[in-house]
Structure 1
Amino acid sequence: MLRYQWEDVVRFWNSKKEEEVSSGQKVGLLQLFAITHRKKDGSPMTSEVGQIMEKLKEKKAEYEAIASNDSFVNLENIDNRIITKVLGPERYG
């Protein structure tokens, strides 16, 4: 995690949004990605990040549409699957 991303996460943890989320709601990877990749004014850090966020939203909508039509679809770890589809698998180093 880059320094500016870490600062955004810490700022989020100390914000009212975090209080709402910590009241029983889990923060998913998609939400964390959105939080850590936005400027203070709420806009994406770069145009590339904006495109990635759009792709993430589209994939989430696709998964939710499939899940609403098919009761056998497992929605656990859906954020992980969406991130992996859009950004690729995690790479270390």
Structure 2
Amino acid sequence: MGNIESGDEGLWSRSIKGEGEAFRVLYARHRNRIFRHAYRLSGDRHDAEDIMATAFLELWRSRAKVRIVEGSVLPWLLVIWPWLLEP
């Protein structure tokens, strides 16, 4: 697979080609930041964990439309997670 510690752009490209390890690295790289933001808004640890997991699920489901911003998937994740709080 090459250097797994490459930037998000390379990891994302490999992820959408089916390399699960690349997606796991993206998840590990960004999960804490998404969790912290979700926790601040929801105030509940379990809800924040659900929001974080759903954000990454939506990242995968929307993979054909995801835009990498400044070489990172983080901006996309930061934009999508608040929408996950909608009823």
TM-score bucket of the superposed structures, by smaller chain: 0.3 to 0.5
TM-score, scaled relative to structure 2:
0.37
Higher RCO (Cα < 8 Å, 6 or more apart)? 2
